A and B are shown apart, each in its own frame.
Chain A
Amino acid sequence: MNELMAARSLTTLPVVTLGGDAVAQIKDTVFDAAAGRVTGFTLSGRGLLSGPLKQSLPWTAVHSLGHDAVMIRDALALRETSVVVARREAQQGRVLHAKVLTDEGTEVGTVLDVIVEGGTSGRVVGFRIAAGKALVQGSRRRRHRVYVPRGETLAVSGRALVIPADATRYVADDLPAFVARVGAFHDERKGTPP
């Protein structure tokens, strides 16, 4: 598995061509909820006073998603923003702060971040959530923040994220532990008869 990254940490990453030119920086991360993959990024300009760009970066044009930059072949790879996300989708699909529900109907927290796999994969492997009491028995003063793996039957919108109830058995407190839990989660689901 490639390095895991929080989608919010991708914001402001430079978009760099293989020729070495920084042509933009990441604004929003867009992912396909059903396929569980990043489909692209909206962009903003590199200058201090520059705002959002009319162009976006589809995932098909990404050479590699790294810790410090998103590499693309050349600036011709950029497309109209509507290719990556329509304006209506952008307004309705914001997942941060959405409720997290299990498929059994239990609310287990709210979404803080989306965890994606870097490199050429772009897979969405899980979520960082502010866990409710139903998930973690913790201090009342400080909300417990945990990672949960993405289920295969995921449903997600700007209002709620639905995960399999058994995914809540694989929560982890930090990213290194989460990598191991994701592996165990998928191993168990592969072994489960449909």
Chain B
Amino acid sequence: MAWWIWLVMVVAALVAVTVVTLAVQAGRRSGTVIAVRRRPGGKGMR
């Protein structure tokens, strides 16, 4: 194969890995709101 085909394949692979990594990180960092129940004087109570 011509050298430039290898170059395109390597760049495409790098782009794919980067996109997947960023998507996974975005998912891990995305937040939500969680309701809990605490006993008076328990953890998290002032």
Contact = CB atoms under 8 A, between A and B. Distances in A.
Interface residues of A, number: 41
Contacts, number: 90
Contacts of B32: 28-29, 94, 96
A34 interface: yes
A11 interface: yes
Interface string B7-38: 00000000000000100010011111111111
Given A58-B44, A83-B43, A83-B44, A51 B25 contact: yes
Contact of A33 (B31, B37, B44, B45): B37
Given A34-B38, A39-B38, A59-B46, A95 B33 contact: yes
A181 interface: no
A16 interface: no
A144 interface: no
B39 to A, nearest CB: 9
Interface of B: 21, 25, 28-38, 43-46
